[in-house]
Chain A
Amino acid sequence: MTTVPKDDIAVAGAVPVQRELRLRPSLRHVVIAGAIAAALVIPLVTSSFVTFQVTEVIIYGLAILGLNLLTGFNGQFSLGHSAFYGIGAYTTAILMHNYDVAYYWTIPAAGGVCFVVGFLFGLPALRLQNLYLALATFALANATPQILKFHALENWTGGVQGLVVDQPDPPSFLPIDGDQWLYYFTLAVMLVMFAAATSLIHSRSGRAIMAIRDNPIAAAAMGINTSLYKTLTFGVSALYTGVAGALGALAVAFVAPDSFTIFLSISLLVGLVIGGVGSIPGCLFGGLFVLYVPNIANSLSSGLAGAIYGVILLLVIFVMPAGAAGFVRLAAARLSRSQQAPITGAQGGKP
């Protein structure tokens, strides 16, 4: 049985710590398999509009996962992820619009570009802690839409007019339409990215990333190259969000500077906290929140949409203080505890 280190508890208030899922591995696999099966069926049983919305949920979930790697697992704050999302989107749009690159090649390209940008931005950001880092990334988010409008780049970016992106056609041998194909494509990218993130977190590097979050001095004392890991995490985080941006450009079929304002960063941050800081599956719940809650608020009253959004947000935080992932963990723990004999002083029924 692992003991919980002191620092872990200290952090737990602000950043709930991801632990192994309490579900038994076999059950966990069943749940994941069931979720994937359900995801595969969605576009076949819903309208193309719902398919499009779920595609957007997945895209936001992926962007939130990028932020989560940085904030949830590495403990660095960012208000600048709208910039990486935008850079990813523009990479795809520019490659497709100006250079006729096939859409599937633009996804890794967007990821690569964002990794480099994120890594380079991470270098000076290393010297900044917490709130100061938040401010530096805030500046990045503010600057990006204006840089995209900058006239020297206009031949590439289309300036304030933005660029139109052709929606990818499904392969001719599949009897599905464009929305369905884009959904499956996005789903496939997401599964690969989520699997990669899971194995990263459970690897030696993942433990180093989390050790830096929990106690940077102790981590350094154990021989972890903190500056390298922090900048690399920044790069990987930007890569994830950039890939999401690239997929977003394909889904919306249009990019413009006004799509990537600071409001997007804040939405991603809200999604991160709602989904569960330091939880990988929770990111998808965050994506659901980001897409649907403004719509729900608006449908209740268009005049008071902002206030209703705030109330819903407060309620969700009140009911699920550790985010959706924490809520599920707690529920699962309760469930298994009631099934098994009570364990004294138990954190849950871990086999």
Chain B
Amino acid sequence: MRQLTRRSILAAAPAVAFAFKAWPARAKDYGPGVTDKEIKIGNTGPYSGPASSYSAVPKSQVAYWKMINDQGGINGRTINFISYDDAYSPPKTVEMVRKLVEEDGVFFTSATLGTPCNSAIWHYMNEKKVPQLFVATGATKWDDPKGHPWTIGWQPNYQSEGRIYATYILKEKPDGKIGVLYQNDDFGKDYLKGVKDGLGDKASMVIVEASYETTDPTVDSQVVDMKAKGVDVFVNCGIPKFAAQAIRKAAEIGWKPLHVLSSIGNSVGATLKPAGFENAKDIVSDFYLKDPSDPKWKDDDGFKTWIAFMDKYMPDADKSDAGNVAGSSLAGMTAQVLKQCGDELTRENVMKQAASLHEVMVPMLLPGVTANTSPTDFAPLKQVQMAKFDGQRWNLFGELLRGAIG
């Protein structure tokens, strides 16, 4: 009789387990999308559409997770990284993210790209209590642990960069007259606010605030106006096209202010080359990632790790594309969160671990730049280093700077 009972229980066990698919998971404290063998992570990015030049960011993440799986996964689980194209269209992002969460049943999303796209899913993710980890955008609003406890940012945000410029200016030219050129939208205004906040009670140093629209043909008149008003510190927050125009125009009219270029416009290829290297000499800017085209990293361990990854998993990709640096760094950070989670793979614990990063490094961050978060601080990267352009390339100088808000 006893024998029989045990056997019948054994026979029934798979059926029971099948009927209550979630049951073993619950016993082990797993969230949706997690089993003993696998973790599902969702992602969206612009593989097509107007912003497809950023497609290296999701593509390099796919490659990075492949590498992680080849190395045995994380805590014995392979990562099933599901990445969909949203064509940088917010309605498509909503559709794809709902598919990820409701159909594919992902554990969380990671590094979804674009300010408008992330804005579109912001409320949905927080309502559904699904972690929206390390969004790939520099807007300041992602650092909102109280209002949106399921969303966490990643890169140094534009406001904190603005503060860093202010700190630098106060040190270099405490009695300067500042002119700020910014794009008339969210990120431009974030920069302006950051600069003013950083100046604090000396905010009156900003004597010209000149905006441009992306539709403007040139920013020549703004630059000429600044020179005429006696501006001697020029904070140039243009996207590459306008940043280059401003650099060129300043050289043309023989204007030599202390020229601070924001990080969105500091690409050598996209901004400085068209502006003319000789015109761009002595401009300063800020960085948090290593520039893969800079030969000084040749013997750097982090760079060697990264280039080995690129050679094996993305042999055809453009290695000077900063998107590959950002994507692999984002995936590396997410991997770190999963490692910290151990076997307690619940969505609550993912957010808890993402909010307790302590001096986390990934290979392509500048030496000394680390990710740090706390339950009240959802802005992982805050440090940058200033660099001066010598006519050929950027040379980092000085200490790491922080622009922490608050």
Contacts and interface: CB of A to CB of B under 8 A. Distances in A.
A56 B83 contact: no
B86 to A, nearest CB: 10
Contacts of B90: 162, 252, 254-256, 258-259
Main secondary structure of the interface of A (DSSP, over half): helix
Q: Which of B95, B214, B215 is most buried by chain A, counting CB atoms within 10 A of its CB?
A: B95
Contact of B89 (A52, A150, A161, A259): A259
A132 B51 CA distance: 28
B47 A263 contact: no
Interface stretch (B117-125, B244-252, B286-294, B371-379): B117-125
A52 B98 contact: yes
A47 B99 CA distance: 11
A52 B84 CA distance: 18
Contacts of A205: none
For chain B, which range describes its interface: under 10, 10 to 19, 20 to 34, or 35 or more residues? 20 to 34
B116 A258 contact: yes
**Pairs of residues from A and B, 5 with the lowest C-beta to C-beta distance, nearest first:** A49-B102, A160-B185, A254-B120, A256-B116, A258-B116
A254 B48 CA distance: 21
Contact of B87 (A53, A149, A263): A263
Nearest to B47: A302
Contact of A253 (B84, B85, B123, B185): B123
Given A52-B95, A253-B123, A305-B48, A149 B116 contact: no
Given A254-B120, A259-B116, A305-B48, A149 B91 contact: no
A161 B184 CA distance: 12
Interface in B93-108: 94-95, 98-99, 102-103
Contacts of A256: 90, 116, 119-120
B116 A49 contact: no
A159 interface: yes
A305 B47 contact: yes
Interface in A115-147: 146
Nearest to A306: B48
A53 B215 contact: no
Give the contact-size bracket for chain A. 20 to 34
Contacts of A146: 213-215
Given A49-B103, A52-B95, A261 B120 contact: no
A149 B185 contact: yes
Contacts of A56: 91, 95
The interface centre, meaning the residue of B116, B123, B211 with most chain A CB atoms within 10 A of its CB, is B116
B173 to A, nearest CB: 30
A47 B123 contact: no
Interface in B200-244: 211, 213-215
A164 B50 CA distance: 23
Contacts of B50: 258, 261, 263
Nearest to B117: A258
Interface in A255-302: 255-259, 261, 263-264, 291, 294, 298, 302
A160 B48 CA distance: 21
Contacts of A305: 47-48, 85
A258 B88 contact: yes
